[in-house]
């Protein structure tokens, strides 16, 4: 029941490592020897001091935040049917509130992109609510909560036949304090089951079915016995969702990844930076450990009474009756600690190369635009791939929502002419040049492009505000023409002093 996919078992350690790194210093230090091995002969007290002296420079989280910020420096665009029909109205409602928790689809998309950049995987279940308000909604699942899946060839197509989702059930009915509910593990099993067989025993019709399993106490539990009670999996309910009175032929679940929307597990985009980041943390721990024992001067004396108490301070004098008595300070001299400094610098430079230009410590002077574009091409390729992949998977989510409200046989029958999601793929802050603006205006005046195309190009080049529609821009231009004053201008052509004034609009 709660068995996991082999790819899940192979990836869970990397996902947990990424979660700890992105969570910050407290999470990394809480893992103790998992990320910072104990030195030889260190007892618990010494190791605790060794760990506490270290600092964790979270370059990975800074890089991830920068990537998310670049992708969403412009809001995603969603192509939807006209709101005048029922499907368009339902999709507009979904875009305004994707998960029935008040989350707009733009914020929902940002959450998915953050998950993909952090761990390289996420999933979305598109379900139908029949209780409070009849409408389609989406539920996002983290990579760790998608524990098993299967695909199979069905009617000439590779489709999902099983998805097992790990959840938590909050039991508020059997506790006296509703503010402290008891949490039980829960599994939501999405599966396709054969509903009809043909004469040659090949399955032709498949039905989507949902089983909910909950790990509950085997025997009734009284107060205070929760920790000592054995739990076992119990089937709570089995549901066959219906659409237009018929069962669903597919599982309404979409995978999201950095390169594709297939069930296959992909590599974490920032995995290499995470590895170097943890190496930097270990080097920093050794560096601070060495500084603790070598950087502080230590007083030493010779010829003084061993029983005497010697205090250090400007108001204290040391007096010895022994001829030749002397005192001084022990100080470290050498290149030992500088080795750690150089190693940490190399790690920081490597993280900057692997990650993003936002981690660079200095600006490049005299660098040409072509050199900057070439240097950023590797980073932009990662962002472009993620943006295009999530755009494709979000389009699948919109297709499912459209399908729930329409009569098409399968979601794949809904093309890009009806619904489409597009994330930003332009990460250049330079904007349009004067020459580019002039060229676009000239093309419009020559009839090579439409006015809408010209305005869309200006919006992409950040000449027009991103939230302003073409109709709003045209209305603004029309209002400015009406209010623009007429200014008489006298020609300044030499010798033409009697010319009539020219009116300029």
211-247: per-residue pLDDT in tens?
999 998 877 655 555 555 788 999 999 999 999 889 9
| pLDDT in the model for residue 362 | 42
Class of residue 40 by CB neighbours under 10 A (exposed 0-12, middle 13-18, buried 19+): exposed
Chain CA centroid to CA 111, Å: 6
Strand, coil or helix: 322: coil
Find the helix or strand (DSSP H, E) in which 392 lies.
helix 369-404
φ/ψ of 335, rounded to 5, equals -110, 10
- Asked whether 61 and 50 are in contact (CB, 8 A), the reply is no
- What is d(CA 475, CA 287) in angstroms, rounded to the nearest whole number? 64
Give the Cβ contact number of residue 66 at 10 Å.
18
pLDDT at 120 > cutoff 80: yes
Q: DSSP secondary-structure letter at 36?
A: S
Greater confidence (155 vs 232) lies with 232
Strand partners, 154: 157
Strands (E), 276-419: 298-302, 326-330
- What is d(CA 55, CA 287) in angstroms, rounded to the nearest whole number? 10
Comparing 19-28, 397-406, 424-433, which segment has the lowest mean pLDDT? 424-433
Chain CA centroid to CA 440, Å: 36
Long-range contact set of residues 442-447: C-beta below 8 Å, sequence gap at least 24: none
354-370: per-residue pLDDT in tens?
765 433 334 444 555 55
Instruction: Give, in degrees to the nearest 5, the angle at Cα 188 between 119 and 122.
Output: 15
| pLDDT in the model for residue 343 | 78
Dmax over CA atoms of the chain, in Å, equals: 114
pLDDT at 396 > cutoff 90: yes
| Average pLDDT in the chain | 83
Which residue in 110, 368, 106 sits closest to 256, CA to CA?
Answer: 110
Per-residue confidence band for 350, with pLDDT thresholds at 50, 70 and 90: confident
- What is d(CA 437, CA 430) in angstroms, rounded to the nearest whole number? 13
Please compute Rg for the chain using Cα positions. 33
Pairing assessment for the beta strands 157-171 and 146-154 based on DSSP bridges: antiparallel
Find the helix or strand (DSSP H, E) in which 476 lies.
helix 470-483
Structure token pair of residue 492:
């300044």
Q: DSSP secondary-structure letter at 324?
A: T
| pLDDT in the model for residue 497 | 47
Class of residue 52 by CB neighbours under 10 A (exposed 0-12, middle 13-18, buried 19+): exposed
């Amino acid at each position: 029941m709660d068995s996991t996919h082999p790819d899940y078992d192979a990836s869970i350690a990397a996902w947990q490592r990424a979660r700890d790194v992105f969570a910050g210093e407290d999470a990394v230090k809480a893992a103790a020897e998992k990320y910072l091995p104990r030195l030889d002969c260190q007892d618990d007290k010494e190791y605790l001091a060794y760990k506490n002296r270290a600092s964790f420079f979270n370059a990975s989280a800074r890089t991830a935040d920068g990537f998310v910020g670049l992708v969403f420096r412009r809001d995603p665009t969603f192509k939807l049917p006209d709101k005048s029909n029922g499907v368009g109205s339902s999709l507009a409602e979904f875009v305004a509130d994707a998960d029935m928790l008040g989350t707009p689809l733009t914020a929902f998309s940002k959450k998915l992109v953050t998950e993909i950049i952090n761990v390289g995987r996420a999933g979305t279940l598109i379900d139908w609510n029949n209780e409070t308000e009849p409408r389609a909604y989406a539920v996002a699942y983290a990579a760790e909560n998608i524990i098993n899946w299967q695909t199979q060839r069905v009617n000439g197509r590779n489709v999902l036949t099983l998805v097992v989702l790990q959840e938590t059930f909050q039991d508020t009915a059997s506790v006296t304090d509703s503010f402290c509910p008891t949490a039980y593990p829960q599994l939501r099993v999405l599966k396709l089951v054969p509903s009809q067989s043909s004469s040659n025993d090949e399955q032709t019709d498949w039905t989507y079915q949902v089983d909910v399993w909950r790990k509950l106490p085997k025997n009734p539990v009284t107060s205070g016995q929760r920790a000592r009670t054995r739990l076992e999996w119990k089937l709570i309910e089995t549901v066959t969702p219906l659409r237009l009175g018929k069962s669903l032929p597919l599982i309404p679940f979409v995978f999201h990844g950095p390169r594709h929307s297939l069930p296959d597990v992909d590599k974490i985009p920032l995995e290499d930076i995470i590895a170097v980041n943890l190496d930097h943390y270990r080097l920093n721990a050794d560096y601070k450990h060495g500084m603790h024992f070598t950087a502080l001067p230590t007083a030493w004396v010779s010829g003084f009474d061993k029983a005497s108490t010697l205090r250090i301070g400007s108001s204290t004098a040391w007096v010895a009756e022994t001829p030749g008595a002397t005192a001084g300070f022990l100080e470290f001299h050498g290149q030992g600690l500088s080795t750690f400094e150089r190693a940490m610098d190399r790690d920081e430079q490597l993280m900057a190369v692997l990650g993003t230009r936002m981690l660079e410590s200095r600006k490049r002077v005299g660098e040409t635009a072509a050199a900057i574009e070439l240097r950023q091409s590797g980073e932009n390729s990662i962002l472009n791939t993620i943006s295009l992949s999530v755009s494709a998977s979000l389009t699948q989510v919109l297709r499912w929502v459209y399908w729930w409200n329409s009569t098409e046989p399968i979601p794949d029958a809904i093309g890009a002419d009806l619904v489409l999601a597009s994330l930003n793929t332009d990460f250049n802050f330079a904007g349009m040049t004067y020459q580019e603006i002039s060229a676009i205006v000239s093309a419009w005046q020559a009839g090579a492009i439409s006015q809408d195309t010209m305005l869309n190009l200006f919006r992409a080049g950040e000449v027009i505000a991103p939230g302003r529609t073409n109709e709003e821009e045209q209305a603004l231009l029309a209002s400015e023409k009406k209010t623009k004053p007429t200014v008489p201008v006298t020609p300044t052509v030499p010798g033409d002093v009697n010319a009539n004034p020219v009116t300029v609009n």
